[in-house]
Structure 1
Amino acid sequence: MKHTLISLAIASIALFSFCKKDNSCSEPQPVSNQIRFDALAVGQVSHYISLSGEEYYSNEFDNFQYLDDTLRLEIVGKDANGYKVKESLHYVGDTHESLGWDKDSVFYYHLRISADTLRVLPIGASYLRSRIFTHELSQQGLPLKKITSPKVEILGWKTSLNYCECRQQGYAENYTLFGKTYDRLNVIVENSAMAWDGNGMTYAFSKGTGIVRFSTYGWWTQSGYGWDLLPEN
């Protein structure tokens, strides 16, 4: 209940205003046309609220909190490489420690659908720069075809899949976030890099909703951060 009340309050604020640390605020930007992978179009915008989680290895799932950081993704163009996305971070006060680097930078990259897989392509560089799409994702892509088994639960900032330093996948049904219920989501848990002290990552997504949840976490700290999709206005 604590997290539900906090998340709803933050979501309401984040949808209608974005403030920098110096308290200069932009005009309200209601969300009405979110990014969806089955119908990408110029002008689509998705907003995400950040979360900070702890004790990834434990059986507890409620040890996380929402923060003031808000991520904005907007499709600003289309060319031969795909749909061009502008990614910007909006924050109040200090950001999560993992987001402090280039916190005022705006990143650009392309989204492309190929063979029922989402590809994220860097622009003007060999390495993808993004706070929600990882370099590993740019190499592997996200499968948009429905994953048929096993059925998993999204619990707090984790899933019901057992811990494994490997890649796992499944699907979630009737997942409710900020009052919106998602009928079916693909779930990818890519923790292979944790076998050599790297970071793991989790994505929950679908063709019709885009990314609903992203999180990343470290082997050493057992902590991490993530992004939850804010619902349409």
Structure 2
Amino acid sequence: MKHIRSFLLFAIPVALFVFSCRKENPPGPTGPTGPPAAGLIRFDSMAVGQISKYIGLTGEDYYTSNNDNYQYVDDTLVLEIVAQDANGFLVAESLHYVGDVYPWIGEHPDSVYHYYLEVKDDTLKAKKVPSPSQWPYPDSRIFSFRTAMNDGGLPLAQITSPKVDILGWKTSLGYCECRREAYTEDYTLFGVDYPPLNVIVENSAMAFDGNGETYVYSKETGVVRFSTYGWWTQSGYGW
């Protein structure tokens, strides 16, 4: 059984199901300008059949920049666009894992979640599949309540200031219990050079002992990294 504290995971699109549990980068896709358009979910041109896969990494001490304590884990999140209708693009979200499942996955590691992705007014939102349930939000391991599902959504227009760096599993932004928008450029991950990416850090709830969350993404690449983390432990989970 895997024993861990609460950890921070970032979303990392990859084309592999098997990867390292070490801190060093496992092998991944390569390309001069980022991941290929065909196959991966692009927010600017979503289509049935697109698939994005994510591996997790775990880390601690979110509040401090004095260390870089993280490692990759052996769980893969798979998002596939399986249909399109008036509600948007229907996504099937599944988890592929090796051996025991880390506690942050929750009680339903074998569940396949379904929800819609919709782009409206250059903003991405995740929406619940219509059902009798009165709970208004879809189940997802990557699209969160506060950022992707609330009234704001994820803005797809390129954010132009300030510029930040992605340092290991953190950004170069200092700790703040607030919402901030930024961008990063010249970012390389697993040999892939990405175009400029938006960075949304929504930590407002941490002022009330709630969770913060970070998205790194663009309309061309979809989500590149995601995390959610708690105020009490300064660690959390995500992809």
Range of TM-score over shorter length:
0.7 to 0.9
1:141 aligns with 2:161: no
Show the counterpart of 1:196. Answer: 208
TM-score by length of 1: 0.84
Say which SS state the counterpart of residue 84 (structure 2) adopts: strand
Residue-by-residue CA offset, 1:123-172 (whole Å, 9 max, x unaligned): 13512210000111201210000001000001111101111101001000
Say which SS state the counterpart of residue 193 (structure 1) adopts: helix
Say which SS state the counterpart of residue 135 (structure 1) adopts: coil
Residue among 205, 219, 228 paired with 1:207: 219
Structure 1 runs of 4+ off > 6 angstroms? none
- Give the RMSD, CA atoms, in angstroms: 1.6
Residue-by-residue CA offset, 1:92-111 (whole Å, 9 max, x unaligned): 12222211321110000001
> Matched residue pairs, number?
205
CA distance in 2, matches of 1:122, 1:68: 28
Partners of 2:182 and 2:198 within 8 A in 1: yes
1:128 aligns with 2:101: no
Taking the TM superposition and a 5 Å limit, the aligned residue runs for 1:1-233 are 3-5=23-25, 7-8=26-27, 33-60=39-66, 62-123=68-129, 124=131, 125=133, 126-136=136-146, 137-139=148-150, 140-227=152-239
Q: Which structure shows the bigger proportion of residues in helix conformation?
A: 1
Is the deviation greater in 97-106 or in 138-147?
A: 97-106
Which 5+ residue runs of structure 2 have no aligned equivalent?
A: 1-21, 30-36
CA distance in 2, matches of 1:121, 1:194: 24
Partners of 1:175 and 1:183 within 8 A in 2: yes
Residue-by-residue CA offset, 1:57-108 (whole Å, 9 max, x unaligned): 1113521111001000000000000000000001012222211321110000
One-letter identity of the residue aligned with 1:211 = V
* Percent of aligned pairs with the same amino acid: 60
Which 5+ residue runs of structure 1 have no aligned equivalent?
A: 13-30, 228-233
TM-score by length of 2: 0.82
CA distance in 1, matches of 2:117, 2:219: 13
CA distance in 2, matches of 1:60, 1:86: 39
Show the counterpart of 1:21. Answer: none
The answer to which structure, 1 or 2, has the higher relative contact order (CA under 8 A, 6+ apart) is 2
